[in-house]
Structure 1
Amino acid sequence: MPTRAHVLRRAAALVACALTVVSTTAGCSLLPGGGDSGATDIERNTLRIGVMPVVDVAPLRIAINDKLFEKAGLQVQLVPQTSEDEGIKQLDTTLDVTWASHVTLFRKVAEGTQLQLQGEAYQAGANSMALVSTDASYDAPAKKSNPRIAVNSADDIGALTTKAVLDTAGIEKQKINFIEMPFEQMQQAMQSKTVDAAWMIEPFITKVQRETGARIVTDTAIGPTKDFPMSGYAASKKFADGNPKTLALFRSVLRDAQQNASNNKLSVQDVLSSYVDVDQQTAALVSVGTFPLSLNPIRLQRVADMMDTEDVLPGRLDVQQLLPPGTTS
């Protein structure tokens, strides 16, 4: 018959074993490859992100296909938006984070919207944004002194970079007539002579070239706009203050996604046809820019300063104030 001492020793051994199992299991969840890797203490495990059909968000699409967010403990839902302004307006209601050009984000901040930047999405490369025309005679930026140019928004990156590049070609900014329309309507506008040219981004540039023989009048990522920071992700300041760990995890996974896309730009071209209205042959020909790995205040200040110079902003905007605490160059 077991003695009292024997029973106590056996009970102690069982407790120690149980504690070891619990400790080991808890430790595993914090290691890379664990069930909720890094997500055990985040404020929430779901994020609704506003996106548009542009190359800029390809890394996000690839990351979701590869389950990078899911493996990190985040459930990410991509919500298509009709415009950048609409995406920003939906923050704190139907969206937690949204994609937009830096120009739009900074303009909204200047108008009083409180935002915190969560990542850079895209940086211009050769011919990733350009002035395109179906008019064979318009083959150089100085050919038309009063050009009618289609842009997706007169207050966005297209108008800003077009003015900068045409100015270096000797075209007076005041003589440029910008006509707003969606990218999808620009091809028809050029063919009907409603506009002389259109500021476009990929994959729309390659699509119009293949379908109409349009040519690039000028790359708008040259000279003062070379390697220009194009777009990024932002949350409302209220959401960012209330969910710092969740957004830190988002930025960490986004960095991996951006790195993967940078290492394999074929994957970017491959995923395009799944969310943009282009066939695989067109997608395979698009020019792909750069996917920055982190928020860089010096790089982003360049955008804000150009906006100030061009009177898009009422004064100088300090981009550092829009970054998560502790962000440095």
Structure 2
Amino acid sequence: MFGIARSSGRVRACRAALALAAVTVLTGCAALGSTSSDTSSSGSGLEKPTLKVSILPTTDLAPFWLAQDSGYFKDEGLTVDSVVAASGQASLAKSISGEADIAFSTYPPFFTARSSGAADMQLVADATSVNAKSNAIVTVPNSPVKTIFDLADKKIAITAKNTASDLLTRSVMQDHGVDYSKVKWVLIPLPNIAAALQQGQADAAYLPEPYITQAAKTVGAIPVIDINSGATQDFPLTGYGATRKWVRENPKTLSAFQRAMQRATHEATNDRSKVEPLLVRFAKIDEDTAKLLTLPGYGSTLDSRRLQRVPDLLLQLGVIPSPIDVNSMIGPQAGR
């Protein structure tokens, strides 16, 4: 009997130990789940949970606005504020000066800054590529410009020199054998270009959406040629960059930004209905324009083979004096 009692006692003790272990495991799992949630919502572990991003008010920003509006940045523990810049170069300058952490721009300024030694920039996320009718050289009915062959010595409105606006214009002209050496480049902010065309300050202009559709409605602007042709078909257009120093010091913050942008870009690409209301709210365009305009090709992950087209074009047009290997400028990518 005593032996049986001792055996029963050992069984009860074993069962008690197993029960205690199970409670401990469950409690530990709950604690781990709580910690994970707190980290996501509070930004714990991120080097810089509050980011400032310099942007341009174009349709290229739809995934960025979606990430803000849908709480995808917040899900990653980030608070993201934006500051509007007048051009890609101005946006880049804000990143270089420290006024912004990450800069949105057309791609050329990132490479010209690297080539000139003005800044050691790294590309951290893709944004858009040229789509059919998403970027064009346009004019108005009373302009002397009727075809691309009339552009040789005319006044062409752009946002800034050595950005996508003049470089893609020059490339398209070169494809058609048109001399761009005597073009008079007129620097005008995007929102003012349509009025400048109407008033004769420029004979033609490079415009992205939504400004193409807006200019057509307000001043009767008509396309001279679609940028999505020849050497610039499907051309990498815009992306996000930061200084190499910032990228090195903020790896977790950068990964959080990239994950949120990847999520938002996937949704923007597959569901236009999520994009249009954001363009009305943030790009300040009317609902009819949002429905009519052509969206660019959205992307988030950087592809070095595709992006190499940008510095190669800059070299061909004499904007940079020597080749640049894109791989040397691509920062770490979340999920890779």
> Which residue identity is paired with 1:59?
P
In the alignment of these two chains, the number of paired residues is 321
- 1:118 is the counterpart of 2:134: no
Give the SS at the match of 1:283: helix
Structure 1 residue corresponding to 2:82, chosen from 78, 83, 91: 78
- Mapping for residues 168-187 of structure 1, pairs under 5 Å: 168-187=175-194
Alignment check: 8 A CA contact 2:160 2:187 kept = yes
Distance 1:255 1:328 in 2: 10
Compute the displacement of 1:94 (Å).
2.7
Of residues 244-253 and 155-164 in structure 1, the stretch that sits farther from structure 2 once superposed is 244-253
- 1:64 is the counterpart of 2:68: yes
Structure 2 residue corresponding to 1:141, chosen from 138, 144, 148: 148
- 1:232 is the counterpart of 2:239: yes
- 1:246 is the counterpart of 2:253: yes
- 1:104 is the counterpart of 2:115: no
Question: 2:307 maps to which residue?
Answer: 300
Alignment check: 8 A CA contact 2:87 2:189 kept = no
Give the SS at the match of 2:200: coil
Of residues 76-85 and 148-157 in structure 1, the stretch that sits farther from structure 2 once superposed is 76-85
Compute the displacement of 1:149 (Å).
0.6
Compute the displacement of 1:17 (Å).
3.9
- 1:274 is the counterpart of 2:281: yes
TM-score by length of 1: 0.88
Q: Which has the larger radius of gyration?
A: 2
> Which residue identity is paired with 1:318?
D
Give the SS at the match of 2:73: helix
Q: Which runs of 5+ in 1 are unaligned?
A: 1-8
Give the SS at the match of 1:47: strand
Distance 2:245 2:236 in 1: 25
Structure in which a larger fraction of residues adopt helix: 2
> Which residue identity is paired with 2:115?
A
Alignment check: 8 A CA contact 1:270 1:284 kept = no
Alignment check: 8 A CA contact 1:107 1:312 kept = yes
RMSD in angstroms over aligned alpha carbons? 2.8
Question: 1:132 maps to which residue?
Answer: 138
Distance 1:326 1:128 in 2: 27
